[in-house]
Amino acid sequence: MAFESKSWLVLSLAVLMVASCMQQSVLGASQVPCLFVFGNSLSDSGNNNNLNTSAKANFLPYGIDFPTGPTGRYSNGLNPIDKLAQILGFEHFVPPFANLTGSDILKGVDYASGSAGIRKESGKQLGQNIDVGLQLTHHRLIVSKIAHKLGSLDNAVNYLKKCLYYVNIGTNDYEQNYFLPDIFNTSHIYTPQQYSKVLIHQLNHYLQTLHHFGARKTIMVGMDRLGCIPKARLTNNGSCIEKENVAAFLFNDQLKALVDRYNHKILPDSKFIFINSTAIIHDQSHGFTITDAACCQLNTTRGVCLPNLTPCQNRSQYKFWDGIHTTEAANILTATVSYSTSDPNIAHPMNIQKLLSSNSIN
């Protein structure tokens, strides 16, 4: 009996060691060495926590399903980018620029900031945020740190060519700018068509800078139907606001066209893909039975969760966590589909998996 239990223990230990070795090798073999993230609250993992702004999510019920509780993520659990990092085999989530303590910057950084947009003024009525221009300034700082680690700027840029870049920005240039005509003048100056072009023009400058710092494989994420988020419906008797959907469609069309211009003309040494968020979760598909209401209890003027109130129990049936942001369940679906879909309307001209296995470029 004693012998039996001892050999059982030895066997268990051996199994554990083999298992942990296998896990190490799986963990060591991420499909891409590094992932850099630019964007807004849909990708923020805590960059706003210490900013003077009301655009924060570092309190319950945000993070109720996240392993370490609230972190500043605008979700009940994982963001799309967290799930993508898992699919790609990263051992850790991409750390926020605001807290790189204990992180290896060679594996990537998340610069995204809630309420931020392409235009500097977007979302600033809520307080401070890190607009995309400033996110690139932060990236420049990280690039110089990587240059220091690798011995030269050339080495750094060559290393950065191997990374994956994820850019999901623009919704706040509408929700926290264009569609607030009492605060911002953009809708007095531009038609929706003109505004989409102005935004894409400015985004183009930023993406060229990112390319200059080595980005060669970039995921550009389009926006979901802005007029159908619960916050918009609340102001329209439960129905979608069509003019906001039209604006989002115009932006997405321009963004997709930009991706095509980069691939074929402007930056042929790199590959860009466009992810069509609108096409991933259709109403009441994939087990999402509630796609028009928030899971948490809302501050209805802001569309965000009120602190410390109990959210819905059946969270995986909801598309929306609060009035603006999607649930972990929706985020997992978004990441999984973007990675491997064969639907060219969702991932254009290819999915993330194909982007990564496409010829490495110089």
Of 139, 211, 325, 348, which residue is the catalytic one?
Answer: 325
Nearer CB in complex with ligand NAG: 159/334: 334
At closest approach, how far in Å is the CB of 254 from ligand NAG? 9
At closest approach, how far in Å is the CB of 126 from ligand NAG? 8
Nearer CB in complex with ligand NAG: 153/246: 246
Residue by residue, DSSP assigns 45-98 as SSTTTTSSBS----STTTTTTSTTS-SS-SSSS--HHHHHHHHTT-SSPPPBTT
12 is catalytic: no
Segment 259-263 long-range contacts (CB within 8 Å, at least 24 positions apart):
259/220, 259/348, 260/349, 262/207, 263/349
Nearer CB in complex with ligand NAG: 84/255: 255
At closest approach, how far in Å is the CB of 12 from ligand NAG? 31
Give the footprint of ligand NAG on this chain (CB under 6 A): 52, 54, 99, 101-102, 121, 127, 185, 189, 237, 252-253, 256, 276, 278-279, 289, 299, 301-302, 306, 312-314, 317, 345
Q: 146 is written with which tokens?
A: 């990587």
At closest approach, how far in Å is the CB of 10 from ligand NAG? 35
**Residue located via tokens 């050339």:** 154
On the 0-12 / 13-18 / 19+ scale of CB atoms within 10 A, 25 is exposed
Q: 58 is written with which tokens?
A: 């570092």
Q: 92 is written with which tokens?
A: 């850790």
Q: 28 is written with which tokens?
A: 């060591």
325 is catalytic: yes
Q: Are strands 35-39 and 164-168 parallel, antiparallel or unpaired?
A: parallel
Cβ contacts of residue 219 below 8 Å, gap of 6+?
164, 165, 166, 167, 272, 273, 275, 338, 352, 355
At closest approach, how far in Å is the CB of 356 from ligand NAG? 22
Question: Virtual CA dihedral for 111, 114, 119, 125, nearest 10 degrees?
Answer: -140
- How far apart are alpha carbons 294 and 232 in whole angstroms? 11
Of 44, 65, 131, 322, which residue is the catalytic one?
Answer: 322
Of 41, 45, 316, 338, which residue is the catalytic one?
Answer: 41
Helix (H) or strand (E) holding 320: strand 318-320
322 is catalytic: yes
Nearer CB in complex with ligand NAG: 158/301: 301
Q: Are strands 271-275 and 217-221 parallel, antiparallel or unpaired?
A: parallel
Helix (H) or strand (E) holding 160: helix 153-160
- How far apart are alpha carbons 292 and 44 in whole angstroms? 23
Nearer CB in complex with ligand NAG: 50/155: 50
Q: Are strands 347-348 and 271-275 parallel, antiparallel or unpaired?
A: antiparallel
At closest approach, how far in Å is the CB of 17 from ligand NAG? 27
Q: How many CA atoms lie within 13 A of 262 on its CB side?
A: 28
At closest approach, how far in Å is the CB of 202 from ligand NAG? 14
Task: Return the active site residues.
Answer: 41, 322, 325
